[in-house]
């Protein structure tokens, strides 16, 4: 039986509806991991470190697509809940066209300025050249990257989460196959990794683009629109927290790399690169759940169904608490075999990676709640509170922790900084939940 946004959600129905988004996020993480695995094993740890050094600026520029996707989804789902389907389609179409234009602009800027950015981030010698090669072959695909992330959110609003999963799997398979072909067979190294990733992004953008143009989806389809500055501002405001989270996350990665170069050199950057890849898998569960549940929350908020909002809120917190504990256990057990996939050729580097992962993953116990908290307020169309939470969690708490703790605890302070940041973020999440419960009637 098809699950609709207007349904009452039991635990089973909630899991069924969000699983495609969760799997989609995990699959996205896995094909990124395959990219790093091939580069590390066939091009070496210097090339692998270069990817992890230069990718955050690419992600920062692409974060506007994530902002407009999540913020636009909240707005469009709310409009659908209010019963205005025609307006919902106009706003949806406008957002997609704006994302495409921004992607072309950002891709051009990134292509032109990659070398000074690499030097600014601390790259030297061969690592600078590796950064330039990878980024200049990847930047032309920026438009596809942004459209892909935007469509991932809107596929859920269109009540096609399974199709979103299929698209992500197709893009992931394309990336894995092309990585093997371009890097392992043709020996193209970083150029091959960038092109393989870019083609997979094109697949992830082109399939939903064709679907929304050619298929008359009962909820959403691409068509004629007019520029609506107010709606665009609302979408940006709603989704700014997710953009803040993406940008802040990339800034945090850059600060981690800066600190690790200081304490452990190139090996530290490589170890953190592995930890980042593995973290994406585990955190993908939380991000996927928040993405999957957001349109449901927005719909019932627009329909003023307070009873269902309470139901979604309480069930989500319970599920995320249980899943968080399970993920910590899984991360502890899998740290060594997973790290071996990347750096088994260097025992010392592998030991550093395993130790770092086992400390770092303790934060997963509460990460699900803090990620959900930000996404929850975005879904309620309160972008300001969501943005404040994202800012506190990533840019303030994580940046402060990663700069201060290593002074006292060395490299262990780098790994443990995420735990301190998440504990601080959880405190503020609880404060905001209590403060706004009467306004939105979710508890």
Q: For the chain, how many helices (H) and strands (E)?
A: 15, 0
Tell me whether residue 395 is in a domain: yes
Q: Cβ(84)–Cβ(303) under 8 Å?
A: no
Tell me whether residue 306 is in a domain: yes
Which one, of 355, 348, 372, lies nearest residue 409 by Cα?
A: 355
Q: Cβ(208)–Cβ(155) under 8 Å?
A: yes
Sign of the torsion angle spanned by Cα atoms 69, 257, 278, 366 = negative
Tell me whether residue 189 is in a domain: yes
Q: How many domains does the chain have?
A: 1
What is residue 372's predicted lDDT score, i.e. its pLDDT? 93
What distance in Å separates the CA atoms of residue 188 and residue 156, rounded to the nearest whole number?
37
Tell me whether residue 3 is in a domain: no
> What dihedral angle (degrees, nearest 10) is formed by the CA atoms of 404, 409, 412, 416?
-50
Per-residue pLDDT of the chain (443 residues; tens, 9 = 90+): 566 777 788 888 888 888 888 887 887 777 667 777 888 888 777 888 888 788 888 888 888 887 888 788 878 888 887 878 888 889 999 999 999 999 999 999 999 999 999 888 877 888 889 999 999 999 999 999 999 988 988 887 787 877 877 888 888 889 889 988 999 899 898 899 999 999 999 999 999 999 888 866 667 888 888 888 888 888 887 777 667 667 777 788 888 888 887 888 778 888 888 898 888 888 889 988 988 888 888 888 888 888 889 999 999 999 999 999 999 999 999 999 989 888 888 889 899 999 999 999 999 999 999 999 988 988 887 878 887 887 888 778 988 998 999 999 989 999 999 999 999 999 999 999 999 988 888 88
Tell me whether residue 334 is in a domain: yes
pTM, whole model, 2 decimals?
A: 0.70
Tell me whether residue 4 is in a domain: no
Tell me whether residue 103 is in a domain: yes
Tell me whether residue 406 is in a domain: yes
- Domain of residue 308 covers 11-440
Which one, of 111, 130, 108, lies nearest residue 119 by Cα?
A: 130
């Amino acid at each position: 039986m098809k699950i609709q946004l207007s349904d009452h959600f039991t635990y089973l129905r909630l899991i069924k509806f969000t699983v495609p988004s969760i799997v989609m996020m995990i699959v996205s993480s896995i094909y990124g991991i395959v990219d790093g695995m091939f580069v590390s094993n066939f091009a070496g740890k210097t090339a692998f470190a270069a990817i992890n050094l230069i990718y955050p600026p690419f992600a920062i520029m692409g974060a506007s697509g994530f902002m407009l996707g999540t913020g636009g989804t909240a707005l469009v789902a709310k409009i659908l809940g209010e019963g205005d389907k025609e307006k919902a389609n106009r706003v949806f179409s406008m957002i997609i066209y704006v994302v495409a234009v921004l992607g072309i602009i950002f891709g051009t800027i990134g292509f032109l300025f990659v070398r000074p950015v690499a030097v600014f981030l601390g790259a030297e010698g061969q690592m600078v050249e590796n950064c330039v090669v990878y980024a200049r072959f990847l930047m032309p695909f920026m438009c596809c990257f942004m459209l892909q992330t935007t469509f991932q959110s809107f596929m859920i609003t269109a009540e096609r989460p399974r199709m979103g999963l299929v698209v992500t799997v197709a893009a992931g398979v394309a990336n894995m196959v092309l990585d093997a072909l371009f890097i392992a067979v043709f020996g193209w190294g970083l150029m091959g990794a960038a092109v393989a990733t870019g083609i997979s992004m094109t697949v992830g953008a082109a399939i939903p683009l064709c679907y929304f143009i050619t298929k008359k989806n009962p909820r959403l389809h691409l068509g004629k629109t007019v520029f609506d500055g107010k709606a665009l501002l609302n979408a940006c405001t709603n989704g700014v927290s997710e953009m803040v989270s993406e940008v802040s996350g990339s800034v945090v990665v850059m600060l981690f790399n800066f600190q690790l170069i200081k304490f452990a050199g190139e090996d530290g950057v490589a170890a953190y690169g592995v930890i980042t890849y593995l973290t994406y898998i585990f955190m993908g569960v939380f991000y996927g759940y928040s993405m999957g549940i957001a349109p449901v929350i927005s719909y019932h908020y627009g329909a003023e169904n307070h009873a269902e909002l309470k139901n979604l809120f309480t069930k989500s917190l319970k599920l995320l608490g249980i899943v968080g504990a399970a993920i910590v256990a899984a991360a502890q057990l899998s740290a060594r075999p997973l790290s071996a996939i990347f750096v088994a050729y260097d025992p010392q580097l592998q030991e550093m990676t395993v130790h770092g992962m086992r400390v770092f993953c303790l934060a997963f116990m509460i990460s699900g709640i803090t990620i959900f908290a930000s996404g929850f307020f975005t879904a309620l169309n309160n972008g300001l509170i969501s943005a404040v939470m994202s800012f506190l969690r990533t840019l303030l708490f994580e940046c402060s922790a990663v700069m201060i703790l290593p002074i006292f605890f060395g490299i262990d302070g780098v790994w443990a900084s995420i735990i301190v940041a998440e504990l601080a973020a959880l405190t503020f999440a609880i404060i905001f939940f209590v403060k706004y419960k009467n306004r939105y009637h979710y508890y």
